[in-house]
Amino acid sequence: MVSPAAINHEDYPADEGDHTSNNNDLIFDDYRGKGCVDDSGFVYKLGERLFPGHSNCPCVCTEDGPVCDQPDCPKIHPKCTKVEHNGCCPECKEVKNFCEYRGKTYKILEEFKPSPCEWCRCEPNNEVHCVVGDCAVPECVNPVYEPEQCCPVCKNGPNCFAGTTIIPAGIEVKVDECNICHCHNGDWWKPAQCSKRECQTKQNS
């Protein structure tokens, strides 16, 4: 019968040897403290740069394993239309260099008129800035809109209404047997001022 003491003292060195031998077999595949292994099984020496996993950011092989920097990547331009992720940080390869307005595209600094009363420009920030024409009150009661013109024009000059009759401004107009009318100066939208002087003169004579 073997005593526990004999087992502890006599067999332990042999066990330790066997254990060491087994450890040597394991150390062959365990690079901790000696190198780093990537996903494909490639071994890197201490101090070498590697890209473990699917990371595009470089890491350095240390005794504690790969140590990877987390860089502060610059923000991608909001107008970027082409981004590449080949490096550690995404890079903008193409920035939008045009404006879109009502379904059409315009070059940077290009000026255009989407309508007769709008003047627009494609700004460097890819936004369209427009100015809308502010038309003055026409000096006539029958203005017309010409093609490609923003504001209406008085083709026959200033005028006003005398009843239902349109009379030119600047002169007195006899509209019937008794009434002589003229337009208000500058207030073309107001009805004409009329008098019955000639009619009264004829009645008195």
How many other CB atoms are there within 10 angstroms of residue 180's CB atom? Answer: 18
Predicted structure pTM score: 0.41
Nearest to 66 by CA among 75, 57, 74: 57
Averaged pLDDT for residues 148-173: 90
CA distance 128 to 113: 11
Whether residue 159 is predicted with pLDDT greater than 90 in this model: the reply is yes
pLDDT of residue 3: 41
Per-residue confidence band for 76, with pLDDT thresholds at 50, 70 and 90:
confident
Whether residue 122 is predicted with pLDDT greater than 90 in this model: the reply is yes
Burial tier of 161 (Cβ tally within 10 Å: 0-12, 13-18, 19+): middle
